Amino acid sequence: MQVRPLDGFDRRSFCQIVALGAIAAIPRIVRSASVDPLNNFFSEVRTLHAAFHQSVLTEDLQSIDESAGELWLSRPGRFRWNYGSPLEQVVVADGRQLWVYDPGLEQAVVRNQDEVLGDTPAGLLAGNTDPSLSYLVEALGNQEGIDWIAIYPKKADAAFAQIQFGFESGSLRMLQMLDPLQQITRIRFSDVEVNLSVPSGKFSLVLPEGTDIIREDNG
C-alpha cells in the first residue's frame, strides 16, 4: 500500500517558503499512534543533522521532480538545506536573515527571516514550541512501521493546511505536504543524528567573489 502524501511545493518552492493549500489524507491503518514522538521532537531535539531525498509527485503519485541533499537544524531558528542534485542550491536561516543562494546563477537573495518564515512549515520545523499550542494535532496511525501525526492550523489564514510527520522508533523519517495544485512533496530523512554539536559556521554563508546579492530584508 502506498503512503498518501501531504504537500506540494517543489524543491525550490519549499526552500523559499511558498505557502501550502489543500490537504490530502493518509490512510489510517494498523493501530493508532500517540502524539508522543511529535512532542518529543519539539521538546527534546535541539539540533538535527540528516541526509534527505525530496520527491514532488502529482495527485496520482507520478514523480515530476527528484532532489537530494543534507540538512542541519539548530533550534531555535537556524537551519541549512544543501541541495546537491540535480540543481545545486543552499538555503540558510541564521536567526535573523534567510539566505537563498544559487551557485549556477551566481546569485543570493536575502530576506528578513521572521517576515519570511513566520507561520510556515520551515519556520515550524526550526522552532521549539509545542505545536499543540497553535495547531490541532491528530495521530493518524501506523503504516509499515511509521507513526504518522498530522497538524492543522487553527487560523484560517495560516500558510499551510496540514503537515504530516512520520516517525520511526521515535525518530523523524518523513514529512509530507500538499499544495493547491494537488502536487505532493515528500521528504525522506536518513542517517538522522540529533543533539550533536553543530558548528555555528553551518548557519552562515561565505559567498564567492562576484556573487550578485539581492537584498529584500531592508538591510
Determine the Cα–Cα distance for residues 79 and 112; give it in Å rounded to an integer.
14
Mean pLDDT of 62-84: 92
Q: Tell me the pTM.
A: 0.80
Contact predicate 108/102, CB 8 Å: yes
Across-strand partners of 55? 66, 186
The pLDDT value recorded for residue 1 is 29
| CA-based max dimension of the chain | 56
Q: Which residue has the higher pLDDT, 32 or 61?
A: 61
Residue 83 CB partners (closer than 8 Å, separation 6+): 11, 15, 67, 68, 69, 89, 90, 91
Domain 11-216 is found in CATH 2.50.20.10: yes
Domain ranges of the chain: 11-216
Per DSSP bridges, beta strands 171-178 and 63-74 are: unpaired
Q: Which amino acid would we find at residue 129?
A: T
pLDDT in tens, 129-186: 888 888 899 999 999 899 999 988 887 776 677 789 999 999 999 998 876 566 678 8
Query: In whole angstroms, what is the distance from residue 11 CA to residue 177 CA?
Result: 12
